[in-house]
C-alpha cells in the first residue's frame, strides 16, 4: 500500500482551485477514507503571471511534467476544452495513470473511446463532475442502481437556463433582461449560446443516456431546443393551466428503442422537478425496481463540482489499494436503436393568433381531427389587436410526427396569423 498517492492536476481555474483547496484542507478525512495521504505533485497552468494561492514550485507550463512523471499515480483534468484535453488524457492512460475529468463535452463526444482505452491499459477513468456538479448521479447510475432497469431519465441539468426561467417565472421578467442579470452574476458566459440553446444540457443527456441504457449515443441523436423563444405570455398561460416551464432533458426507452431530447417543457406544478429553482439541478429517474426517485443539488460552482472530483479521487485511490483499477468500466453492450417520430409520444402546448371570424375555429379543429389529435385544454382570448384572438391549447397524447404535420398545416392556414409557441408537456 502506498503511503502517499500522488496527483497531477491539469488546470487551476475555478474547479481546479477548488480541488486543490479540498485536498489541502481535508487531508485528515481523506487519509481516513483512503488509508494513505494525497499529495498534489504538479499542476499544469497556461498563464504563469496570474496570482494564485499555491506554492509556485507546484506549477508548470510543460504537460510532460505531469504526464511523464512516473511518481504521479492519478491525473485530474479540469482545464476544459476538447481536443487538447483528449490528447492529454490519452497520454496519461498510455502512461498507466488513472484519470479523473470534469469535462462533459469531451465525455459526450469521446467517452466510449476513452473508456475502451482506459480498459486496455488497466486504468480507471472517472467523471462524476461532468454532470450535475455536486450531485452524485453518475455513481448512482453505475453502482447504486446497477441492479435495476432504467426506463426513463428526466433532468434539469443546466443551472444557467434554470436560473433564467426561475427569474422569468417568479418575477415576470423577460428573457433578455434576465440573461443580462445572469451574466452579471456569473451564472452565464459572455457567449451564453451553449447554455441557452440547449447544447450543454444535450451533452450531459448523452452521458446519462449511455450510462442508463448501456447504448452508445452521439450528440446528433439528441433533439435540441433552447429557451430563447420563451416569452412571459407562455409562462403565464402555463401557470393558468397548472404548469411550470423548465428546460428539461428527456431520455426514454420503450421496447428497446430510445428517444433523447432537450427542450422547454411544461411540468405539472406538483411534479418534483417543477420546484427545482435557480441554479440547482435535479435528475428524476424511472426504474423497474426503484420506481421513481430524484437526485437534487447544486449543479455548478467551485466546491460542489470539486467535491465530485475529489470523490472520484477517493474511489480511484481505494481501487489502487485493492488492486482492482481498470475493472470498473462498463462499456455499452446493447445495439443502439433510436425511436422514429411516429413512436415518440407526449402532450403538447400550442399558442397561436387566429383571425377572429366566423368558421375560423371549425377549420382549426378539422385539422386537429384530420391528424388524430384531440384537445385536452383550451383558452381563447382577445389580445387587443383588432380582428385577432389568442388561442392556447394543450393536446392529449399524440406522436411527434402527427404534431409536426399539424404545425405545418396550421402555418399554411390563412386564418392563422402566427404561431407564437409550441412546447412539450411532460411529467404526467
d(CA 366, CA 374): 10
| Distance in angstroms (rounded) separating the CA atoms of residues 305 and 315 | 16
Task: Kindly report each contact of residues 186-191 with a partner whose C-beta sits within 8 Å and lies 24 or more positions away, as own/partner.
Answer: 187/159, 187/160, 187/163, 187/279, 188/160, 188/163, 188/164
| Catalytic annotation present for 204 | yes
Q: Which member of 97, 204, 246, 347 is catalytic?
A: 204
Rounded Cα distance, 23 and 9, in Å: 11
What is the grid cell recorded at 184?
452579471
Pairwise CA distance, residues 323 & 330, whole Å: 18
> Alpha carbon of 270 to those of 90, 299, 362: distances in Å?
46, 22, 34
Spatial distance between the Cα atoms of 125 and 119, rounded to a whole number of angstroms: 9
Contact of 78 with 13, CB cutoff 8 Å = yes
* DSSP per-residue letters across 11-31: --SHHHHHHHHHHHHTHHHHH
Of the candidates 178, 133, 165, the one whose C-alpha atom is nearest the C-alpha of residue 18 is 133
Catalytic residue numbers? Answer: 204
Amino acid at each position: 500500500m502506498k503511503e502517499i498517492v500522488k496527483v497531477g492536476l491539469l488546470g487551476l481555474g475555478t474547479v481546479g482551485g477548488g480541488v486543490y483547496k479540498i485536498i489541502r484542507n481535508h487531508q485528515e478525512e481523506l487519509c481516513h477514507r483512503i488509508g494513505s495521504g494525497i499529495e498534489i505533485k504538479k499542476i499544469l497552468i497556461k498563464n504563469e503571471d496570474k496570482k494564485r494561492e499555491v506554492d509556485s514550485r507546484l506549477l508548470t507550463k510543460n504537460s510532460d511534467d505531469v504526464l511523464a512523471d512516473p511518481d504521479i499515480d492519478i491525473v485530474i483534468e479540469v482545464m476544459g476544452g476538447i481536443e487538447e484535453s483528449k490528447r492529454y488524457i490519452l497520454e496519461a492512460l498510455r502512461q498507466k495513470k488513472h484519470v479523473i475529468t470534469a469535462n462533459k463535452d469531451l465525455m459526450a463526444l469521446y467517452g466510449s473511446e476513452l473508456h475502451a482505452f482506459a480498459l486496455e491499459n488497466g486504468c480507471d477513468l472517472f467523471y462524476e463532475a461532468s454532470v450535475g456538479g455536486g450531485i452524485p448521479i453518475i455513481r448512482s447510475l453505475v453502482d447504486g442502481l446497477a441492479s435495476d432497469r432504467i426506463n426513463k431519465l428526466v433532468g434539469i441539468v443546466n443551472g444557467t437556463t434554470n436560473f433564467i426561467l426561475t427569474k422569468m417565472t417568479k418575477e415576470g421578467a423577460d428573457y433578455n433582461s434576465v440573461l443580462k442579470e445572469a451574466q452579471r452574476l456569473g451564472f452565464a458566459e459572455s457567449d451564453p449560446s451553449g447554455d441557452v440553446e440547449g447544447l450543454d444540457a444535450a451533452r450531459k443527456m448523452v452521458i446519462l443516456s449511455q450510462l442508463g441504457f448501456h447504448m452508445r449515443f452521439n450528440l446528433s441523436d439528441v433533439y435540441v431546443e433552447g429557451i430563447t423563444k420563451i416569452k412571459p405570455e407562455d409562462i403565464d398561460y402555463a401557470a393558468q393551466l397548472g404548469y411550470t416551464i423548465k428546460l428539461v432533458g428527456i431520455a426514454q426507452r420503450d421496447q428497446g428503442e430510445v428517444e433523447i431530447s432537450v427542450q422547454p417543457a411544461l411540468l405539472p406544478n406538483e411534479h418534483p422537478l417543477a420546484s427545482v429553482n435557480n441554479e440547482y439541478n435535479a435528475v428524476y429517474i424511472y426504474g423497474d425496481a426503484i420506481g421513481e426517485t430524484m437526485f437534487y443539488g447544486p449543479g455548478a460552482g467551485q466546491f460542489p463540482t470539486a467535491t465530485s472530483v475529489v470523490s472520484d479521487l477517493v474511489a480511484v485511490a481505494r481501487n489502487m489499494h485493492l488492486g482492482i483499477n481498470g475493472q470498473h468500466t462498463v462499456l455499452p453492450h446493447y445495439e443502439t436503436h433510436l425511436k422514429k417520430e411516429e413512436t415518440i409520444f407526449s402532450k403538447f402546448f400550442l399558442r397561436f393568433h387566429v383571425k377572429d371570424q366566423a368558421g375560423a375555429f371549425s377549420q382549426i379543429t378539422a385539422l386537429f381531427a384530420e391528424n388524430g389529435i384531440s384537445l385536452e385544454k383550451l383558452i381563447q382570448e382577445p389580445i387587443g389587436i383588432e380582428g385577432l384572438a389568442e388561442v392556447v391549447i394543450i393536446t392529449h397524447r399524440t406522436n411527434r410526427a402527427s404534431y409536426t404535420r399539424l404545425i405545418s398545416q396550421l402555418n399554411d392556414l390563412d386564418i392563422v396569423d402566427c404561431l407564437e409557441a409550441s412546447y412539450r408537456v411532460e411529467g404526467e
